[in-house]
């Protein structure tokens, strides 16, 4: 069977299951199987695929039709122009988090810093920052041993083992040197909203990385409290938040000796990240 026909079969099957991104998903899944870029796949859509690829494609389309995220089917997700290994034990990187990385890099571009990534997961924030800050060092911590293993694989893949280190530890029990920057994308979904998440998120992504407690601020508050101990004076905390948490999160920051220096908005103009500097 030729590529074009197989893509159409996959797209139609996903469309039948009311998956809006049916065509894109079909293309990404097949491109991964034949080990070419999606763009190259579409340019050569007259090529024949092997029987093995055909069987795997059908299997993967079935998984997608059951709402399994594409990133978990192909075990990778692009973030900051790099494909990161992901899996069922790590949160899938989101475009909104790239906006936080961008804001951080505007401040630290050309500088040498030592920073900490709290709840590192796949390591996408940690390693994206290290890719750009060539002489800097970063530490990623997470309470999930499986997430740490995924992060280590990504460190090896990007050959950043000389500048990145990871540790499986609860942030509250973490004591180390002072940092120039602490960054975190903590769990921030209020418990009452978890049941309303899309099935793709609710049924497949780790609840531990999503559940932020009663008001969604449990982990955000812990990061802010502990960060005050670990951050150098004039150091910066960058923290991702839910769409309606800016007021309460900013109050916590000010109460804990931070001055807010930037608010990062998402593509719908919601404030999704706060950058604060420690003032004393």
> pLDDT tens-digit profile of 93-137?
999 999 999 999 999 999 999 999 999 999 999 999 999 999 999
In a domain, 151, yes or no: yes
Q: Is the pLDDT of residue 76 over 90?
A: yes
Domain range enclosing 39: 3-66
55 Cβ contact list (under 8 Å, min separation 6): none
Nearest to 116 by CA among 182, 168, 160: 182
* Same structural domain, 203 and 267: yes
The structure tokens 């997700």 sit at 77
pLDDT at 191: 95
Number of domains into which the chain is organized: 2
Is residue 249 within 8 A of residue 278, CB to CB? The reply is: no
* Same structural domain, 145 and 259: yes
* Same structural domain, 132 and 256: yes
* Same structural domain, 120 and 155: yes
What is the C-alpha to C-alpha distance for residues 33 and 29, in angstroms, rounded to an integer? 7
Instruction: Tell me the average pLDDT of the chain.
Output: 95
DSSP strand pairing (179-184 vs 114-118): parallel
In a domain, 72, yes or no: no
> pLDDT tens-digit profile of 26-47?
999 999 999 999 999 999 888 8
* Same structural domain, 49 and 118: no
What is the C-alpha to C-alpha distance for residues 143 and 36, in angstroms, rounded to an integer? 35
* Same structural domain, 127 and 250: yes
List b or e across 109-121, with b for residues whose CB sees 16 or more CB atoms inside 10 angstroms.
Answer: eeeebbbbbbbbb
Nearest to 29 by CA among 66, 50, 54, 48: 54
* Same structural domain, 7 and 114: no
pLDDT at 46: 87
Is residue 111 within 8 A of residue 125, CB to CB? The reply is: no
* Same structural domain, 88 and 29: no
Is residue 272 within 8 A of residue 94, CB to CB? The reply is: no
pLDDT at 134: 93
* Same structural domain, 36 and 128: no
* Same structural domain, 48 and 100: no
pLDDT at 146: 96
Q: How confident is the model at residue 153 (pLDDT cuts 50, 70, 90)?
A: very high
> pLDDT tens-digit profile of 210-268?
999 999 999 999 999 999 889 998 999 999 999 999 999 999 999 999 999 999 999 89
């Amino acid at each position: 069977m030729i590529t074009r026909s197989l893509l159409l079969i996959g797209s139609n099957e996903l469309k039948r299951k009311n998956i809006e991104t049916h065509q894109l998903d079909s293309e990404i899944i097949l491109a991964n199987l034949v080990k070419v870029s999606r763009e190259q796949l579409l340019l050569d859509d007259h090529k024949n695929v092997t029987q093995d690829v055909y069987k795997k494609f059908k299997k993967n389309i079935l998984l997608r039709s059951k709402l399994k995220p594409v990133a978990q089917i192909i075990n990778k997700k692009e973030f900051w122009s790099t494909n990161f290994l992901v899996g069922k034990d790590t949160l899938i990187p989101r475009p909104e988090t790239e906006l936080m990385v961008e804001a951080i890099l505007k401040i630290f571009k050309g500088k040498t810093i030592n920073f900490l990534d709290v709840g590192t997961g796949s390591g996408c924030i940690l390693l994206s920052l290290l890719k750009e800050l060539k002489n800097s060092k970063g530490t990623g911590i997470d309470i999930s041993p499986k997430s740490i293993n995924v992060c280590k694989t990504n460190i090896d893949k990007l050959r950043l083992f000389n500048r990145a280190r990871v540790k499986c530890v609860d942030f509250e029990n973490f004591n180390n040197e002072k940092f120039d920057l602490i960054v975190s994308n903590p769990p921030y979904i209020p418990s009452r909203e978890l049941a309303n998440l899309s099935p793709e998120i609710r049924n497949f992504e780790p609840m531990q990385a999503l559940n932020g407690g009663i008001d969604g601020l449990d982990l955000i508050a812990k990061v802010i409290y502990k960060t005050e101990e670990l951050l150098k004076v004039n150091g910066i905390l960058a923290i991702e938040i839910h769409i309606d948490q800016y007021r309460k999160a900013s109050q916590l920051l000010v109460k804990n000796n931070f001055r807010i220096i930037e608010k990062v908005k998402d593509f719908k103009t919601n404030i999704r990240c706060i950058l604060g500097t420690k003032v004393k």
